[in-house]
Amino acid sequence: MPKVKLTPTFISAGLICNTGDRVEYCDIEVPGLYILVSRTSPGRGTYYLRYKDQNGKTCHHKIGKSIDISLSDARKEAKKQKAEIALGANPAAEIRAAKDVPTLTSFFNDQYLPHAKSHKRSWKRDEELFRLRINPAFGNLRLNQLNRQKVQVFHAGLADGGLSKATADHHIKVLRRMLNLAVLWSFIEKNPISGIELFNHDNRMENYMTDEELQCLLTVLRTDENRTVCNIAMFLLSTGCRLNEALQAEWRQVDRSNRVWRIPAKNSKSKRMRSVPLNDSALHVLDQLDTGGEFDHLFINRQTRLPYTTIMKVWERLRTKADLTHLRIHDLRHAYASLLVSSGRTLFEVQSILGHSDPKVTMRYSHLSTKALQDAANAASVLVPRASAAAR
């Protein structure tokens, strides 16, 4: 380890390894700084800082290659690192720790997904978003290598590539949730993408049926040969429940004497048990079913003898038959809510029956409530002239 006064001239002409496979030229101006030259790469070398950690162990911190960094900058960096080491820092240990940070792929598979499976009903959606787009873009990066600029470009690219803004936002929400957990579990110190602005595009859509459209749908549901799926649709229209709630409904949850269906927390989107009142229409649907006493679930596919997991293919045929190709299965829930509001029920009552945890969700039906009030006001406008005439 020859000690020399490193100069720009020496760096440009003196980096030669005459003996052995490599040689270290130690700078006498900045103790600890040296440049490593190998026999296979004459004329170039790599700057290092040699120091002892708090345990007295000799460590080496790489500063940079001579072709990438000047001697002056190497000395400045060496002095900076020495000052930080004097205050307790350990650059080599920090680099090793950074390399121990898992990649996004390994963190998702080993840490996030097992957690999500036990905490999120929508974990399959998270897995799909990660597999299709997040993993190809960032999977090989370590958690601490992600940054806001990379993710913002990715976010914008999703929308420009044809995905809806709401779907693009879901990708960022999954990433943000992953990194928040990584911070909570001490894999990284802070979330590198916190503060990324979402599109927050309101893509809520409600298709409200006219009286004529409702009658067309009811005619199909009462006469179509696929009675089980028709009964499922009628049950949705009669209770305002979500499709998955209906498909998972069991006979033991139904209290016919009190006209109540109790949805357990595990099946409810709000993760709270809620009671759904059963009107005459809903009870009529239950009367049409032949699964009580034979199966646990209300709606059974007789071909498989298992509960339904989806009805979308049959629903597509039914709505086309009713000439309502725009009508989504979830719109039956909106139709039920609109019937409640239009009949004069309060938004609080609608919120309670539908199981909305946030009253803001129920406010989407406020315009229907206004219409009901307007109808009431119009009725009063007819009574006033009559009263005036009687007083004459």
Q: Are 280 and 228 in contact (CB under 8 A)?
A: no
Q: What is the pLDDT of residue 132?
A: 95
Q: What is the pLDDT of residue 49?
A: 92
Tokens 């993760």 — which residue? 271
Q: Which pTM value belongs to this model?
A: 0.53
Q: SS3 string of 253-301?
A: HEECCCCEEEECHHHCCCCCCEEEECCHHHHHHHHHCCCCCCCCECCEE
Higher pLDDT, 106 or 363: 106
CA angle 275, 295, 355 (to 5 degrees): 15
Count the alpha carbons within 13 Å of 204 in the hemisphere toward its beta carbon. Answer: 11
**Fold equal for 3-100 and 211-340:** no
Question: With respect to CATH, is domain 211-340 assigned 3.40.640.10?
Answer: no
CATH architecture of 3-100: 2-Layer Sandwich (3.30)
| pLDDT tens by residue, 349-376 | 767 777 666 556 555 555 554 555 455 5
CB atoms inside a 10 Å sphere around CB 239: 25
Q: Report the share of the chain in percent with pLDDT over 90.
A: 48
Give the distance from CA 247 to its chain's centroid. 24
Q: Which residues contact 261 (CB under 8 A, 6 or more apart)?
A: 239, 241, 249, 253, 254, 255, 275, 276, 278, 282
Average pLDDT of every residue of the chain: 85
**3-state DSSP call for residue 108?**
helix
Q: How far apart are CA 121 and CA 323, in angstroms?
A: 34
Domain ranges of the chain: 3-100, 104-184, 211-340
User: CA Rg, the chain, in Å?
Assistant: 34
Residue 388 pLDDT grade (very low, low, confident, very high; cuts 50, 70, 90): very low
Higher pLDDT, 76 or 41: 76
Q: How far apart are CA 184 and CA 163, in angstroms?
A: 31
| pLDDT tens by residue, 311-347 | 999 999 999 999 999 898 988 988 888 777 777 776 6
352: its two tokens: 């309670």
Query: Exposed (0-12), middle (13-18) or buried (19+): which is 376, by Cβ within 10 Å?
Result: exposed
Q: Are 64 and 34 in contact (CB under 8 A)?
A: no
CB atoms inside a 10 Å sphere around CB 179: 24
CA angle 214, 220, 222 (to 5 degrees): 100
